[in-house]
Every structure is written in structure tokens, then in C-alpha cells.
């Protein structure tokens, strides 16, 4: 079998994407470890401190100038978009304070379904009955995981769901920017905007960090920045629709980390609910590709 350049590029794209997912999984695991020491908002603030330091080093060595990076055709969206990311990560980290890592991650997988819903009023896209059914099925998968009346059913159990909604808004605005903006410009505003929005509220929950905590903040930020850079490289080699299913490899990583670090054993309900959510998400992806091809 002859390996073509296209095949090699797809392989590189998948590899970069899966490395990015691994880095994100490690960040979530580290942050869960420190949710007893800090409020989720302060962890997010420290995360963006690390991201900005890493990105500035990246831009410096790449020779990117600030005057070029800050040029944008849609400044309002560039400012608002990171706010949704801050809300998304903060909601997830609040959920991680009380929920097992795998369960919180699985609930967050409904983000693509929320994107389907929000694409109607924001992107003016037409969504057919098949995709609406997939959204309903995906939410049913969430109900299987949180089990109304069970151990997970309390106010905090919906935080990853709220995080998924904010992440969907973040992704919708990313789609709007992708048609006109330089990816590095969007990455620049993601870092600066995330730090700005988290700095506005971090004083209300502030706890003085130790030098070790500062190193942890820096480490999560570095991993987060590397994840963003790996994703940019991944999308340079392969289409987003091809890479999308590999998002679900995160569930395997967090299940492994949760077991060895927190002694969490994912329940049968978690695996069943995750399967329902993933199948619904893949069906939405299938319908989207079919719509594009026709």
C-alpha cells in the first residue's frame, strides 16, 4: 500500500489533535487536584497566566509583532469570545470539585449538540429533524449519567452541562472569526481576553498561593497553550470534521487518570450515558458532512 502525502498529512493531523486532547486531559486532572485549595475561578486565572507567558514566548521566537497580532476585523467578538471560554472552564472546574473526572468530562461532550442548537439563531443555519433528534438523544445520555434522584443529582452536577453550553458559544464565535481572522490573532486574543475576564472576578475568591501553586498555574498554562498550538497544527493537516470524533479519546484518558490518581471507578451508567452522547454527536457530524456533500 502506497502512503501518499495526503495520508501522511492526515496522520500528522490526527497525531497533533490527540496530543492536544492528552494535554487538556492532564490539565483537567491537575486542576481537580487543586480544587480543594482554590476556587475554580482562581485556578482559571492562574491557567491563563501560564497560557499568556507561553504564548508570548512562542510569538517572540516566531518573530510575530504585536502590531500585527492585534489587527482584527471583529474586535467585539474577539473580546467577548474569551469570556465564554472563561465561563466554560470555570463551570467545568466547579463540577470537578465534586464530581468524578470521567463523569464531568462525559457530560461536557454535549457541547457539539449545543452548537447544533445555537447555530440556528446565531449562524442562521437550518437544522433538520434528524439533528434535533440527536440533540434530544444526547441530553437523554446526560440524564443517564447524572441519574435524577441519584448521588450525582445536585446543583453542582449541572455545572459541566453549563460549561458545555458556554463552550458551544465559544465555538460558534470561533466559526464566525475563522472566515476573516488570522488564527494567531485569534489565539492572541484568546490568551489576553481570558486573562482579562478572569482577572475581573478573581479578587472575590482570592487565596494567597504558595510558590508551588504558582508553578502549578504555570504548568497548566503551558500545557493549555501547547494544546491550542497542537490543534492549530492539526487543522493545518486535516479537516475539522475528520478530527472531531477524536475528541472522545479524552474520555479514555480521564478514566485512566481518575482511576490511578483519585481511585475513581467509572460506573456502568457513565459508560452507557457516554455511549449515547457520543453516538448522538457522531450522528450530528455525519448529517453535517452529508449536508455539505449534497
Under DSSP, the state recorded for 275 is: H
* pLDDT for position 4: 61
pLDDT of residue 257: 93
Mean pLDDT, the chain, whole residue set? 85
Contact yes or no for 35/97 (Cβ under 8 A)? yes
C-alpha cell at 262: 483519585
CB atoms within 10 A of CB 36: 7
Query: What pLDDT, on the 0 to 100 scale, is given for residue 212?
Result: 92
pTM: 0.84
Distance of CA 110 to the CA centre of its chain: 11
Q: How many residues does the chain have?
A: 294
- Judged against a pLDDT cut of 50, whether residue 1 lies above it is answered with no
pLDDT tens column, 252-290: 899 999 999 999 888 888 888 888 888 887 887 676 666
Summarize pLDDT for 49-64 with one digit per residue, the tens.
999 999 999 999 989 8
What is the torsional sign of CA 37, 53, 224, 180?
A: positive
Query: Which is more confident, 23 or 232?
Result: 23
Amino acid at each position: 500500500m502506497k502512503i501518499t502525502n495526503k495520508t501522511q498529512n492526515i496522520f500528522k493531523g490526527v497525531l497533533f489533535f490527540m496530543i492536544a486532547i492528552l494535554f487538556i486531559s492532564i490539565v483537567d486532572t491537575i486542576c481537580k487536584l487543586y480544587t480543594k485549595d482554590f476556587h475554580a475561578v482562581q485556578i482559571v486565572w492562574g491557567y491563563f497566566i501560564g497560557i499568556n507567558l507561553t504564548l508570548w514566548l512562542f510569538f517572540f521566537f516566531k518573530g510575530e509583532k504585536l502590531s500585527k497580532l492585534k489587527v482584527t476585523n471583529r474586535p467585539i467578538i474577539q473580546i467577548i469570545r474569551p469570556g465564554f471560554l472563561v465561563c466554560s472552564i470555570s463551570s467545568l472546574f466547579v463540577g470537578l470539585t465534586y464530581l468524578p473526572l470521567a463523569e464531568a468530562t462525559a457530560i461536557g461532550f454535549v457541547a457539539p449538540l449545543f452548537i447544533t442548537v445555537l447555530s440556528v439563531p446565531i449562524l442562521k443555519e437550518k437544522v433538520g429533524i434528524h439533528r434535533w433528534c440527536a440533540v434530544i438523544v444526547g441530553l437523554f445520555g446526560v440524564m443517564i449519567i447524572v441519574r435524577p434522584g441519584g448521588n450525582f443529582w445536585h446543583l453542582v452536577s449541572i455545572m459541566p452541562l453549563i460549561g458545555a453550553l458556554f463552550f458551544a458559544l465559544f465555538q460558534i464565535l470561533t466559526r464566525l472569526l475563522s472566515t476573516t481572522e488570522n488564527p494567531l490573532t485569534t489565539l492572541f486574543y484568546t490568551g489576553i481576553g481570558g486573562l482579562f475576564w478572569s482577572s475581573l472576578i478573581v479578587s472575590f475568591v482570592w487565596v494567597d498561593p504558595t510558590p508551588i501553586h504558582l508553578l502549578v498555574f504555570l504548568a497548566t498554562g503551558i500545557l493549555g497553550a501547547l494544546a491550542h498550538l497542537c490543534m492549530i497544527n492539526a487543522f493545518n493537516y486535516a479537516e475539522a470534521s475528520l478530527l472531531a470524533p477524536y475528541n472522545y479519546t479524552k474520555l479514555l484518558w480521564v478514566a485512566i487518570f481518575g482511576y490511578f490518581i483519585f481511585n475513581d471507578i467509572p460506573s456502568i451508567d457513565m459508560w452507557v450515558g457516554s455511549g449515547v452522547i457520543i453516538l448522538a454527536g457522531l450522528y450530528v457530524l455525519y448529517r453535517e458532512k452529508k449536508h455539505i456533500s449534497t
